[in-house]
Chains A and B, each alone.
Chain A
Amino acid sequence: QVQLVQSGAEVKRPGASVKVSCTASGYNFGNFRIAWVRQAPGQGLEWMGWISGYNGETKSAQSLQDRVTMTTDTSTGTTYMELRSLRSDDTAIYYCARGVDSGRLGMDYWGQGTLVTVSS
């Protein structure tokens, strides 16, 4: 069965970086994109970006493109999202999700979420 398993919760200081992992299993990793979505406390969903499992192509939200980097390790089916220069408003649950047909059919499987807390 398809599973996306994310790394554990993180606590970071303002100005630091965080790297969250998402390990996929149960499907051909190269056939799908992995998207990153975050949700601040009590707020809605915010798309951060996606990375292709096939060729590593990435696209990120304009508001984050200077601070976010997404990478993949195809040998393990793991995707990484690194966010730099953390601020208090980066405190959120970060989700990875599988994008079907380059996203044209939505995101059908989601990770369990990783809570990132930014606090001095």
Chain B
Amino acid sequence: SYDLTQSLAVSVALGQTATITCGGNNIGNENVHWYQQKPGQAPVLVIFRDTNRPSGIPARFSGSNSGNTATLTISGAQAGDEADYYCQVSGTTAWVFGGGTKLTVL
């Protein structure tokens, strides 16, 4: 099976840049998606296919993917960005989620 590795927790000062990573073998060859989940709510897609933002997602959310690491960047983090973030890959045989990263905005 294909494993995706995320840090358990990341903290960022209000207004600063948060970086959340997702590691996987040659993940740069995969389509990586990122989801935000707040307590008691369903996940929300914030980045699809590595770098694309769905309609309604603020421009401060961006993504990149190369080699063995995909990255979600939140520029100018706001209090409302505090949430769990999950990376996900849609392979031909299976779809996989990373373990999730809890983002704390200080």
Contacts and interface: CB of A to CB of B under 8 A. Distances in A.
Contact of B93 (A35, A59, A95, A107): A59
Given A103-B90, A106-B90, A44 B48 contact: no
Given A44-B97, A59-B93, A103-B95, A111 B86 contact: no
Contact of A47 (B31, B49, B95): B95
B42 A113 contact: yes
A62 B94 contact: yes
B97 A45 contact: yes
Interface string B14-54: 00000000000000000101010100001111001100101
A108 B94 contact: no
A110 B45 CA distance: 9
Contacts of B86: 44-45
Contacts of B43: 37, 45, 95, 97, 107, 110
The range of chain A's interface size is 20 to 34
B96 interface: yes
A5 B99 CA distance: 26
Contacts of B33: 105-107
Nearest to B43: A110
A107 B36 CA distance: 12
Given A44-B100, A45-B100, A104 B42 contact: no
A100 interface: yes
B87 to A, nearest CB: 10
Contacts of B42: 95, 110-113
Interface in B75-102: 84, 86, 88, 90, 93-100
25 contacts: A35-B95, A37-B97, A44-B84, A44-B97, A45-B86, A45-B88, A45-B97, A45-B100, A46-B97, A47-B95, A47-B96, A47-B97, A59-B93, A59-B94, A62-B94, A97-B43, A100-B48, A102-B90, A103-B90, A105-B48, A106-B31, A107-B33, A107-B45, A108-B54, A110-B42
Interface of A: 35, 37, 44-47, 50, 59, 61-62, 95, 97, 99-100, 102-108, 110-113
